[in-house]
């Protein structure tokens, strides 16, 4: 009986250890894919590039020679689908403020125009986790233009404020996205990315002008 009791003292811990290891292995096999919901918000710097429109003032057509940087914000939600330890898929939906502006010094007067645009962005990102927390991501983003308005100042005096220009901006845009991110163990994450619009923003079709956007965001994955 003593021998049997001693045997149990050794066998039971061994069996328990084997069961724990088996459960861990089973859990590891079922670990992926994992889907987690998250929220994200931040700021972005946007401008247009390429061709420039003319502005009419006092019967004279004038042409700006540069687009101004436009600052805006964004917020939205996403789902992080971790396919493996190294790869994740992340669709999302974001409300984003974009736009641009122009400044023209014509000698006799200085004109400043600003276009404020609102978009619904739908990114579909592939994340590659190169180390603990650090990742790079890329993928397409589909954007739907919600609304736009236009402000114009001449020599500091407001000429036009909040004029609706929604119909002059293209309804759709597609942009490749490339960025870097870091995920903290507590669920918080930071991301920096760039976007290059592929479809002209000019809804009238006179200009080949495109959105350019740099986005810095902070998120939390539940």
The domain that contains 138 carries what CATH number? Answer: 2.40.160.20
Residues 15 and 99 occupy one common structural domain: no
Q: SS3 of 208, please?
A: coil
Residues 198 and 135 occupy one common structural domain: yes
Q: Is the pLDDT of residue 178 over 50?
A: yes
Total-model pTM: 0.78
C-alpha distances in Å from residue 142, one per residue of 7, 72, 134, 175, 198: 66, 18, 25, 7, 10
Q: Is the pLDDT of residue 19 over 60?
A: no
Structure tokens at 10: 């050794």
The rounded distance, in Å, linking the Cα atoms of 212 and 93 is: 18
Asked if residues 96 and 44 have their Cβ atoms less than 8 Å apart, the reply is: yes
Rg (CA), the chain: 27
Q: Is the pLDDT of residue 103 over 80?
A: no
Residues 61 and 17 occupy one common structural domain: no
Residues 3 and 88 occupy one common structural domain: no
Mean pLDDT of 119-137: 95
Return the higher-pLDDT residue of 67 and 29: 67
| C-beta atoms surrounding 129 within 10 Å | 18
Predicted pLDDT of residue 135 = 97
Partnered with residue 151 across adjacent β-strands are 114
Residues 52 and 23 occupy one common structural domain: no
Structure tokens at 164: 């609706």
Predicted pLDDT of residue 49 = 81
Predicted pLDDT of residue 116 = 92
Residues 20 and 86 occupy one common structural domain: no
Asked if residues 100 and 137 have their Cβ atoms less than 8 Å apart, the reply is: no
Question: In the chain, pLDDT over 70 holds for what percent of residues?
Answer: 77
Residues 83 and 144 occupy one common structural domain: yes
Predicted pLDDT of residue 90 = 97
Residues 125 and 73 occupy one common structural domain: yes
Number of compact structural domains in the chain: 2
**Mean pLDDT across the chain:** 83
Predicted pLDDT of residue 207 = 75
The rounded distance, in Å, linking the Cα atoms of 168 and 48 is: 14
Asked if residues 67 and 98 have their Cβ atoms less than 8 Å apart, the reply is: no
Return the higher-pLDDT residue of 154 and 108: 154
Q: Is the pLDDT of residue 3 over 50?
A: no
The rounded distance, in Å, linking the Cα atoms of 198 and 203 is: 14
Return the higher-pLDDT residue of 25 and 149: 149
Q: 156: phi > 0 → left, psi -120 to 50 → alpha, else beta; which?
A: left
Longest dimension (CA), the chain: 111
Q: Is the pLDDT of residue 145 over 50?
A: yes
Structural domain containing residue 13? 1-31
Residues 141 and 203 occupy one common structural domain: yes
Q: What are phi and psi of 215, to 5 degrees?
A: -125, 130
Residues 12 and 61 occupy one common structural domain: no
Mean pLDDT of 177-185: 97
The rounded distance, in Å, linking the Cα atoms of 155 and 107 is: 11
Which stretch of 12-16, 100-104, 144-148, 191-195 has the lowest confidence by average pLDDT?
Answer: 12-16
């Amino acid at each position: 009986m003593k021998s049997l009791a001693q045997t149990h003292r050794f066998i039971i811990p061994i069996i328990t250890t084997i069961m724990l290891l088996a459960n861990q292995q089973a859990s590891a096999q079922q670990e992926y894919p994992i889907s987690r919901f998250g929220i994200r918000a931040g700021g972005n710097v946007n401008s247009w590039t390429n061709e420039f429109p003319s502005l009419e003032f006092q019967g004279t057509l004038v042409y700006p020679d540069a687009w101004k940087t436009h600052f805006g914000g964004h917020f939205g939600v996403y789902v992080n689908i971790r396919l493996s330890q190294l790869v994740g898929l992340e669709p999302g939906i974001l409300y984003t403020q974009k736009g641009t502006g122009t400044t023209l010094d014509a000698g006799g007067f200085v004109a400043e125009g600003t276009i404020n645009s609102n978009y619904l962005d739908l990114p579909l990102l592939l994340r590659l986790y190169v180390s603990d927390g650090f990742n790079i991501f890329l993928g397409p983003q589909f954007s739907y233009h919600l609304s736009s308005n236009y402000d114009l100042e001449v020599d500091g005096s407001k000429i036009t404020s909040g004029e609706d220009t929604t119909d002059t901006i293209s309804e759709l845009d597609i942009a490749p996205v490339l960025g870097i991110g870091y995920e903290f163990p507590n669920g918080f994450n930071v991301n920096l990315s760039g976007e290059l619009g592929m479809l002209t923003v000019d809804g009238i079709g006179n200009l080949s002008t495109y959105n350019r956007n740099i986005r810095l965001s902070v998120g939390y994955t539940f």
